Structure 1
Amino acid sequence: MQKIVVAGAALNQLPLDWEGNRRRILTAINEARRLGATVLCLPELCLSGYGCEDAFLFPSTPRLAEESLRQLLPHTRGMIVLVGLPVLFEGKLYNATALLVDGQIAGIVCKQNLLCDGLRQEYPRFHPWPAGKHGEIRLGDATVPIGDLSFDCGGVRIAIKIGADLPVDLPDPSDSRPDCHILLNPVAEPFGMGTFALRKEQLAELSARWDLALISANLLGNEAGRIIYDGSVIIAARGKILALGPRLTFRPGELTTCGIPVEQKNTLTPLPNSPASFQGLCGSYVHRMNFAWPQKPAAEVPSPPPAAWEQSPHVVYEEVARALALGLFDYMRKARARGFVVSLSGGADSSAVACLVALAIHWAYRDLGREGFLATLDYFPELAQANSSAEMVGRLLRCLYQPSRNSSEASFRSAQAVAQALGIPLGIVSIDPLVDRYVQEAERILGRPLTWQHDDIALQNIQSRVRGPMAWLLANAEGKILLATGNRSEAIVGYATMDGDTCGGITPLGSLSKAFLRRWLRWLEQVGPIDLAPIPALAEVNRLTPSAELRPPEDSQTDEADLMPYEVLEAIDQAVFRDRLPREEIKERLCQKFPAYSPSQLASWVERFLRLCTQSQWKRDRLAPAFYVGDPSRQPWTTRRLPLLSPGFMPESSQGESQD
């Protein structure tokens, strides 16, 4: 029995950043070598970046990926390193990995099961590799095998499964055990609430079922603008999780090492004699490479214990806070922006976004240290004048409050309390003079007065739209990103004013329901992240009844009166876009879940949801890009799209509501 030190690396890459991506890969290789690791698994498509989108189809992309791969070879002597990259073979592009063994390319393994879930459009950009097929490819001066392969490296067999190629539901191998020692699983798995625990269980079970060691390495951070990766590294063997890497950190990469026992064999069972399911697990062709394993591996460096927040009873709130904060910080630095502007209304959405920016800066400052923080944002030299994370927040976040005569005193107190808690000044600009001027000019052109009785939507929306130019002006003047503050619930039913409260470059909360967001804000007020203090000032926000405050105060406008209770809206959203239930089954489910409401009331809310959702696809098409921290398969911006024009869910006899 031999013990091998293996490693997995999470990398925060950038699409088409050939030099930067290669530099971070080399850092991981060198650190793995320093810690005595012989085998290193890197994430899926880490050399090019996973989010290249249609740039994968440019002829230069696979060529530059191959050039970068060859530059890595001298640095892999004495090691086995798996690198993800796009590969062009026989005129077709493949999502592939290259196994580098002792300074040589041992072979190329290509992905067979491609994803197409809206966020991840692997097909048709890539072609699926046919199971059981293998051939040869010319890379530089070398000809190497390509296809459905596994590798015998000095008596240790290594199998590779990219992303969804890992079969978590294979049957038990009965009496026969596969001659596979190590399974490498590079992935680009988007962060999803609560999904990490399930993934750990699946990988541990697979390692037990097949009696092998398994190394899975994910990307880290906001790689390309929308998808956030948690940077998880999981090393499992014989049913046990041996090591877990830190998740959702703000460093450029994380390396996790572990020693695994391996029974080295000089002669392995020929693959055709293995069970058919094993052939699917480890490939149909074994390529043998000479490799001298260390006779005496270096002493293991124990992996640090899981972060305290991973053990929190509020782990979902903790991980959502970290995922969105990491997404914001990565977006800022990769766009080379000088911070963010938030139009702070005093309500839940804008308060949450402002708090997330502050959390991002505090966590990045902690993970990187002051010098690392300044080096990461070296394009903003004025930050050197700040000496703490709190001072950095003051320089990177600007908040603006734009009241009207319809704004309440409670909203002003709420916005002011949040700004003070975050340590930032609050710019205040009344919009009444601008609104009055627009209304006067419109009345002159129309030849009639505008009244709330006849022009309700127009008079509401002009207030929202007038707020946009000042926020954009401040963002442009300071080189900052204006953040849109909408949430999924409002987007799904079109409860937003185009070019008003939708103004912004990105929408951090775009995949969170309003019901979840309100629960998260109560947690942030009362409990807070385990390594930071709660924000008690959010009590002012959480006491408010959500309201757009666009109608006169005497109308007592509230969001839920305009729409429906947000908990009900969330349940209908899940039934329609996650479960795809027909309307009658949706109504039955709601009656069981919300017995306090009458069946007729619930039925009317279902019809309202379906009507508004159908009419507002055009709005969702125009929303700023959203961060995705939910189920990527049910996003109405992508896979769950509706026609711009259709009767859709609406009964023929109903009259459509205003699309503005």
Structure 2
Amino acid sequence: MKLAGAALNQTPLDWENNLSNIKKAIEQAKEQQVDILCLPEMTIPGYGCEDLFLSEWVAEECFQHLLQIKEWCEGVIVCVGLPIRLNGITYNTACVINDKQIVGFTAKQFLANDGVHYEPRWFSSWPANTVQEFEMLGQTYQIGDIIYEHQGVKFAFEICEDAWRNEDRPAYRHKPKGVQLIINPSASHFAMSKTDVRYHLVVDASKQFECTYLYVNLLGNEAGKMIYDGEILIAQNGNVVLRNQLLSFKDVDFECAEVFFENPLPLVDVTPLPPVDENMEFISAITVALLDYLRKSKSKGFVLSLSGGADSSLCAVAVAEMVSRAVQEIGLEEFVRKTNCLTIEELPEFQKLSGTELRNALVGKLLITAYQGTENSSDDTFTSAQELAKSIGAVFYNWTIDQEVIGYRGKIENAIGRPLTWDHDDLALQNIQARVRAPGIWMLANLSNSLLLATSNRSEASVGYATMDGDTAGSISPIAGVDKSFVRQWLIWAQLNLGYEGLQYVNNLQPTAELRPLERAQTDEKDLMPYPLLNQIERLAFYDRLSPQQVFDKLKGTYPDDQLKQYVQRFYSLWSRNQWKRERYAPAFHLDDYNVDPRSWLRFPILSGGFRQELSELG
């Protein structure tokens, strides 16, 4: 039997785009004479419709499109995802279409309800071993825990989360029923190193349940924050039959392979994947996410306040690498179609270019940067910003904001009747510099209809080490899902492994906000604590969910007790008082196995006791 999966780059409620991708996948399946084609979870509406799944009309619209899709399925079985709403209850289903006939709907049994997932808000679980009939538009259909059959081969489903439930997973019930093929349409979000876990989830299952397992994931930045890697896996009895290249820039990544059921591959021990390179995973994910965010928001490019520091440098390189990778995979013409970055008249000139020359020319069309210095800025950060922009072809502007700062400072001094000093008014004097940078850079973004890139990272978000409406200003905050230590080591890796020699300047600098006078030698870690320790406390507190005392006990011995106690107290105090900032950050990509975004992973009250009792008892 010829099995196929198609990872699709869908968009919530973009019916034209979604149907077009579905049709392309079905046409490729028919061209390749495929027996069964699996498409990802919630293929028709897009997985990220959120509360719209509670609307009657969305389910009705999806069903109308399903009737349209089934007419394309001549001579092939297609598994397509959509919500089915019965008696005011919505189910997450995979519909099986065989040769233009709807055979049935398998409903998801386990709903994801941790981390970034809120599925029980929208869907209801389907009970195991239950099949019912329902009527829709005058026709009667089956829905539930259905076993299907094709060419004498029984097949059934696990839909995404179903497979992650260990002893409860549907596969345990499928095996005694003679199921030889398990199909899994998924919308499994990206996180660094997660693909190794998912690989074993699928390949180990094919051995454990002595079956063929077909897994297909969603692809791209579907709805704004979540990234999907588009993984397609076919395994049989522990053998990997097919595994595709992840994080593609394609709209449709179609893969197929022949699988023999009468003489299956022998049972074997599962071969592990080589160690995951998180640096490569990170840049692969963020570049796909940036391109999708750019084109789906109908924006013309990116604008970046390039300070010469680590965070803004990473954002700049991510845009350059997005251009390089996308053009290499899908070609210049398709890249231009997706981004609309060139006119018809300009295209022939760009077609003459190649390699770094082409990348830099395209970056010049898509990325505008500006260094906004003050009397507290150093020559080192200016050189870092200027040389990096030049090395990747970005537009680079340079201006100072001292007059604006002096103007605001003078107004306030006049109003309150006293001069502002660094000894008495440190925080306000720091913040006004960062905040004054926002209007000019926003103006550039508005003039070019571009996305303003905010540069906050996860470590800063945890402790509120950012100026609200200043360096937090932006349309999208692409690196807010990773910590500062990761950012710094990644820049060194990118210089050595991706050839971005323009990073040599920032890689020789200590992270600093450069908001105090230079003689005060400000650094981030002097203001806060060592970043590696900050990240350890953050992870123990909110990923492992430990109390302040438990965190202290875990880290005991890494620093003198009094100093460690001070750092733990500082972290929890800063965390508690800065939740309001995290609520207002620009949308961020989910890149690691957790984040501190209250909209997608970690909810925390804006007003709280601030761990006062717990911190007072620390020791």
Tell me which residue corresponds to 1:458. 428
Q: Deviation per CA, 1:121-173, whole angstroms, max 9, x where unpaired?
A: 21111111122322112233431101111212342211011111125634997
Tell me which residue corresponds to 1:21. 18
Residue 57 of structure 1, aligned match among 32, 54, 68: 54
In the alignment, the residues of structure 2 paired with residue 389 and residue 441 of structure 1 have an alpha-carbon distance, to the nearest angstrom, of: 46
Q: C-alpha displacement at 1:648, in angstroms? A: 2.2
Letter in 2 for 1:514: K
Q: Deviation per CA, 1:185-228, whole angstroms, max 9, x where unpaired?
A: 01100101111112112211111111111111001110000000
In the alignment, the residues of structure 2 paired with residue 464 and residue 94 of structure 1 have an alpha-carbon distance, to the nearest angstrom, of: 48
1:121-140 paired onto structure 2 within 5 Å: 121-140=118-137
1:142-153 paired onto structure 2 within 5 Å: 142-153=139-150
Tell me which residue corresponds to 2:301. 339
CA contact (8 A) 1:177 1:211 kept: no
Per the alignment, do residues 14 and 37 of structure 1 end up closer, same or farther by CA in structure 2, a change over 3 Å counting?
A: same
Matched, 1:420 2:390: yes
Q: C-alpha displacement at 1:429, in angstroms? A: 1.2
Secondary structure of the 1:586 match is helix
Per the alignment, do residues 196 and 313 of structure 1 end up closer, same or farther by CA in structure 2, a change over 3 Å counting?
A: closer
In the alignment, the residues of structure 1 paired with residue 274 and residue 482 of structure 2 have an alpha-carbon distance, to the nearest angstrom, of: 21
Matched, 1:81 2:46: no
Tell me which residue corresponds to 1:299. none
Per the alignment, do residues 89 and 241 of structure 1 end up closer, same or farther by CA in structure 2, a change over 3 Å counting?
A: same
Residue 573 of structure 1, aligned match among 521, 532, 538: 538
Q: C-alpha displacement at 1:413, in angstroms? A: 1.0
Secondary structure of the 1:51 match is helix
Which piece of structure 1 moves more, 114-123 or 436-445?
114-123
Secondary structure of the 1:97 match is strand
Tell me which residue corresponds to 1:548. 513
Tell me which residue corresponds to 1:328. 290
In the alignment, the residues of structure 2 paired with residue 636 and residue 63 of structure 1 have an alpha-carbon distance, to the nearest angstrom, of: 32
Residue 507 of structure 1, aligned match among 477, 481, 494: 477
Q: How many aligned residue pairs are there?
A: 597
Tell me which residue corresponds to 1:479. 449
Q: Deviation per CA, 1:608-635, whole angstroms, max 9, x where unpaired?
A: 0011001110000010011001124865
In the alignment, the residues of structure 2 paired with residue 503 and residue 624 of structure 1 have an alpha-carbon distance, to the nearest angstrom, of: 7
Relative to the length of structure 2, the TM-score reads 0.93
Tell me which residue corresponds to 1:212. 211
In the alignment, the residues of structure 1 paired with residue 172 and residue 223 of structure 2 have an alpha-carbon distance, to the nearest angstrom, of: 40
In the alignment, the residues of structure 2 paired with residue 312 and residue 163 of structure 1 have an alpha-carbon distance, to the nearest angstrom, of: 24
1:202-351 paired onto structure 2 within 5 Å: 202-263=201-262, 315-351=277-313
In the alignment, the residues of structure 2 paired with residue 234 and residue 579 of structure 1 have an alpha-carbon distance, to the nearest angstrom, of: 31
Gap regions ≥5 residues in structure 2: 264-271, 352-357
Letter in 2 for 1:575: L
Which piece of structure 1 moves more, 120-129 or 325-334?
120-129
Per the alignment, do residues 30 and 653 of structure 1 end up closer, same or farther by CA in structure 2, a change over 3 Å counting?
A: closer
Per the alignment, do residues 653 and 610 of structure 1 end up closer, same or farther by CA in structure 2, a change over 3 Å counting?
A: closer
Q: C-alpha displacement at 1:65, in angstroms? A: 0.4
Q: C-alpha displacement at 1:10, in angstroms? A: 0.5
Residue 27 of structure 2, aligned match among 8, 30, 35: 30
Matched, 1:407 2:372: no
Tell me which residue corresponds to 2:154. 157
In the alignment, the residues of structure 2 paired with residue 489 and residue 378 of structure 1 have an alpha-carbon distance, to the nearest angstrom, of: 35
Tell me which residue corresponds to 1:269. none
In the alignment, the residues of structure 1 paired with residue 91 and residue 598 of structure 2 have an alpha-carbon distance, to the nearest angstrom, of: 28
Alpha carbon RMSD of aligned pairs, Å? 2.1
In the alignment, the residues of structure 1 paired with residue 485 and residue 164 of structure 2 have an alpha-carbon distance, to the nearest angstrom, of: 35
Secondary structure of the 2:24 match is helix
In the alignment, the residues of structure 1 paired with residue 117 and residue 570 of structure 2 have an alpha-carbon distance, to the nearest angstrom, of: 31
CA contact (8 A) 2:401 2:437 kept: yes
Q: C-alpha displacement at 1:371, in angstroms? A: 1.4
Gap regions ≥5 residues in structure 1: 265-309, 529-533, 655-660
In the alignment, the residues of structure 2 paired with residue 259 and residue 408 of structure 1 have an alpha-carbon distance, to the nearest angstrom, of: 62
In the alignment, the residues of structure 2 paired with residue 116 and residue 481 of structure 1 have an alpha-carbon distance, to the nearest angstrom, of: 32
Letter in 1 for 2:403: P
CA contact (8 A) 2:462 2:596 kept: no
Per the alignment, do residues 177 and 117 of structure 1 end up closer, same or farther by CA in structure 2, a change over 3 Å counting?
A: closer
CA contact (8 A) 1:168 1:202 kept: no
Matched, 1:389 2:359: yes
Q: Deviation per CA, 1:219-258, whole angstroms, max 9, x where unpaired?
A: 1110000000001001111111110112111111111111
Tell me which residue corresponds to 2:113. 116
In the alignment, the residues of structure 2 paired with residue 312 and residue 321 of structure 1 have an alpha-carbon distance, to the nearest angstrom, of: 18
Which piece of structure 1 moves more, 518-527 or 116-125?
116-125
Q: Deviation per CA, 1:264-297, whole angstroms, max 9, x where unpaired?
A: 9xxxxxxxxxxxxxxxxxxxxxxxxxxxxxxxxx
Matched, 1:557 2:522: yes
Tell me which residue corresponds to 1:371. 333
Per the alignment, do residues 401 and 648 of structure 1 end up closer, same or farther by CA in structure 2, a change over 3 Å counting?
A: same
Tell me which residue corresponds to 1:469. 439
Residue 72 of structure 1, aligned match among 69, 72, 84: 69
In the alignment, the residues of structure 1 paired with residue 212 and residue 323 of structure 2 have an alpha-carbon distance, to the nearest angstrom, of: 38
